[in-house]
């Protein structure tokens, strides 16, 4: 049995929620987790729409992590 250790160079993660604070908390947790993998935030894209059933704003974000 052999182990292969490869470094992750790029990682893209998606987040969604009904408040910006909720998404910010989720992103911050992943920033801390990905720091252990030697990844840092390269770019963030976000979008807001009105949820059709509740009428509340619904937010989504895409965070691109890259190796340091």
Residue 1 has what pLDDT?
A: 75
Structural domain including 62 reads 10-67
Residue 28 has what pLDDT?
A: 97
Q: Are 11 and 35 in contact (CB under 8 A)?
A: no
Task: Report CA dihedral (16, 33, 12, 6) to the nearest 10 degrees.
Answer: -160
In a domain, 18, yes or no: yes
How far apart are the C-alpha atoms of 11 and 23, rounded to whole Å?
A: 18
Mean pLDDT in runs of 10 for the chain (68 residues)? Answer: 84 95 96 94 96 92 95
C-alpha distances out from residue 17 to 8, 10, 24, 43, 57, Å: 27, 24, 10, 19, 9
Residue 4 has what pLDDT?
A: 79
In a domain, 2, yes or no: no
In a domain, 3, yes or no: no
In a domain, 20, yes or no: yes
In a domain, 29, yes or no: yes
In a domain, 45, yes or no: yes
On whether the pTM is more than 0.75, the answer is yes
In a domain, 34, yes or no: yes
Place of tokens 């963030």: 44
Q: What domain count does the chain have? A: 1
């Amino acid at each position: 049995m052999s182990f292969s250790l490869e470094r992750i160079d790029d990682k893209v993660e998606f987040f969604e929620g009904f408040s910006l604070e909720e998404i910010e908390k989720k992103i911050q947790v992943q920033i801390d987790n990905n720091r252990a993998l030697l990844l840092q935030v390269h770019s963030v894209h976000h979008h807001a729409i009105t949820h059709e059933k509740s009428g509340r704003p619904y937010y989504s974000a895409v965070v691109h992590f890259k190796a340091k």
